[in-house]
Amino acid sequence: MMAGETPQIYRVGGAVRDRLLGRPFHEIDWVVVGAEPSWLLDRGYRQVGRDFPVFLHPQTGEEYALARTERKQGQGYHGFVCDFSPDITLEEDLQRRDLTINAMAELPDGSVVDPWGGRADLDGRWLRHVSPAFAEDPLRVLRVARFAARYHDLGFRVAPETLALMRQLGDSGELAALTPERVWQETERALGEAHPAVYFEVLRACGALRVLFPEVANCFGVPQRDDYHPEVDTGLHILLCLAQAARLTPSTRIRFAVLVHDLGKALTPTDVLPRHSGHERRGLPLIRQVCARLKVPKATQELALLVGEFHLDCHRADELRGDTLLARLEALDAWRRPERFEEFLLACEADARGRTGLEDIPYWQADYWRGAQQCGQIDVADWLARGIQGMELAAQLKATRRERLCAYRDAHRARRESLNAR
């Protein structure tokens, strides 16, 4: 831009992409070409950001960034030097972006500036990198996988040459430079997409799954009994379960629990395969390992551990004695934390349906467990009024629940036998 010319402001990024796709969007980003920071500050914008100047609009709060270029200088996604001089052109700013569909700009009249072929790739449903500089930023591996999960319904897939660059990043050691917080942030967002399983499929295809989620990667190729699991492969089962979880709930906490529930199967001794007796407890240290490495929030970790340990008991509900029902409901804290108990049941339902050809089976076990939980829901006000408290109250509560649950289990079994006899 020539000296003295008025800076130009363009809408950029996801808002342009999603408008062209006819999808709703909420966040709007802007780029300012030909300006010094003082130009924005003089107009009331508030500067934020340490690595490069970003400004918040005084009324809307939307982000306005000076046009910039980036030069790789170190390892990881922080290893860049930015140039945000007024001489940087719009085309140069767009060239530094990850994907062509994210490298378009829009003028106030709605016309689109598209120097890198973004519209053609929108039409062709391609996730394609803008330039070879894509391979300089390891975070882009996760972003592309997340976009693949988001736009899977529209038919988008990763361009072969982009997947090759993602493999290059996976092999280079650059992925190890990603902070745990950033890996979790991208992964949690991906778990919230319509097709979270696609995120992990793409990471596996480019070799990143083994680097970032080795516990999940190790499940692929591990066989299961085909009479229970027609899909046989444990890794495939996990992805099928994740797809079912996405059908059942938008909760990323439940979806994460489903992702890690069967990690213990990768540790099953080869001489007993394809059986996996005891895999639930074998998997608990692996779940803790993943959660510690990625700094997973406590509530998410707690649910994942409960699903990992007790999902098999949930499936075989009517095989359990009344005492065992009570012990499991206590371990799940079902009476004090009913919302989490519901999350547990949804995760187990996703596990049951995450099998080839069994995606729509009724999961009667969930209602069985809900009935058991309701059966043990006791109002202790009368006991307290009679002075029963402390250890005596706890013992009486446990005994009453055991009696009720045994009766509940026997009544259920009698009804089932009666139906079978007809």
Domains along the chain? 1-117 (3.30.460.10)
The pLDDT-based confidence of 186 (bands split at 50, 70, 90) is very high
Query: DSSP for 193-218?
Result: SS-HHHHHHHHHHTTHHHHH-HHHHT
- CA 403/CA 351 separation, integer angstroms: 30
Check whether 78 has a pLDDT greater than 80.
no
Kindly state the percentage of the chain with pLDDT values over 70.
95
Check whether 2 has a pLDDT greater than 50.
no
Average pLDDT over residues 56-81: 76
Q: Radius of gyration of the chain from Cα atoms?
A: 27
- CA 17/CA 28 separation, integer angstroms: 11
At 188 the pLDDT is 98
Residue whose pair of structure tokens reads 């499929």 in the numeric block: 201
pLDDT tens per residue, range 360-376:
999 999 999 999 999 98
The pLDDT-based confidence of 1 (bands split at 50, 70, 90) is very low
At 5 the pLDDT is 72
The pLDDT-based confidence of 69 (bands split at 50, 70, 90) is confident
At 390 the pLDDT is 84
pLDDT tens per residue, range 95-109:
989 999 999 999 988
Check whether 408 has a pLDDT greater than 50.
yes
- CA 186/CA 73 separation, integer angstroms: 24
Nearest to 61 by CA among 23, 18, 29: 29
pLDDT tens per residue, range 251-305:
999 999 999 999 999 999 999 999 999 999 999 999 999 999 999 999 999 999 9
Check whether 71 has a pLDDT greater than 80.
no
At 72 the pLDDT is 60
Half-sphere exposure of 56 (CA within 13 A, CB side): 9
Check whether 51 has a pLDDT greater than 90.
no
Check whether 200 has a pLDDT greater than 50.
yes
3-class SS at 232?
Answer: coil
Sheet holding 29-33, edge to edge: 46-48, 54-56, 63-66, 29-33, 8-12, 105-106, 112-113
pLDDT tens per residue, range 98-155:
999 999 999 988 899 999 999 999 999 999 999 998 988 899 999 999 999 999 999 9
Check whether 208 has a pLDDT greater than 60.
yes
At 4 the pLDDT is 52
Kindly state the percentage of the chain with pLDDT values over 90.
78
DSSP 63: E
DSSP H helix total and E strand total for the chain: 19, 11
DSSP 354: -
CA distances from 212 to 150, 177, 413 (A): 20, 11, 46
End-to-end CA distance of the chain: 85
pTM greater than the 0.85 cutoff: yes
At 295 the pLDDT is 97
At 391 the pLDDT is 87
